Amino acid sequence: MTPEQIRIAVAQECGWVRVDVPPNSPWEASPGTGNKIWWHPHQLPHYEEDLNAINEASSWVEDRKWSDYLMHVIQDKERCGAVEARYKTAKATALQRAEAFLRTKCKWIEG
């Protein structure tokens, strides 16, 4: 998945809604204002590179299931054993966490 696809997929799982609003509209929704409305992907939190954003998103996921997916993502990406991968989950990147989040929600698209 591309960074934009990841951003959109995680946002949709977190309740963000896309609307068609003209770009020059005086009304503007942006991350951090409490609005979960967007019309352009740059308005969404960058879940794939922001640890705070992806940690907030993943707080909605069952811990054990998400943690297992995160371990498998790390194991696949870093070609390490299960024990080492489990240890590395504490230092997982935002991108690894976003992939695990989307895999937990069955929204990850290979390719």
What is the pLDDT at residue 5? 96
Q: 76 and 99 in contact (C-beta within 8 Å)?
A: no
Position 82 confidence tier, pLDDT thresholds 50, 70, 90: confident
Cα gap 49→7, rounded to integer Å: 9
Cα gap 91→71, rounded to integer Å: 11
- Please tell me the pTM assigned to this model: 0.82
How crowded is the C-beta side of 60, counted as CA atoms within 13 Å?
Answer: 15
Q: Which tens digit of pLDDT belongs to each residue from 12-54?
A: 999 998 887 655 555 555 544 456 888 888 889 999 999 999 9
CA geometry: angle at 7 spanning 100 and 70, to 5°? 10
Distance of CA 106 to the CA centre of its chain: 13
Q: Which DSSP state fits 94?
A: H
Q: 75 and 69 in contact (C-beta within 8 Å)?
A: no
Residues across the chain: 111
The structure tokens listed for 48 are 């794939």
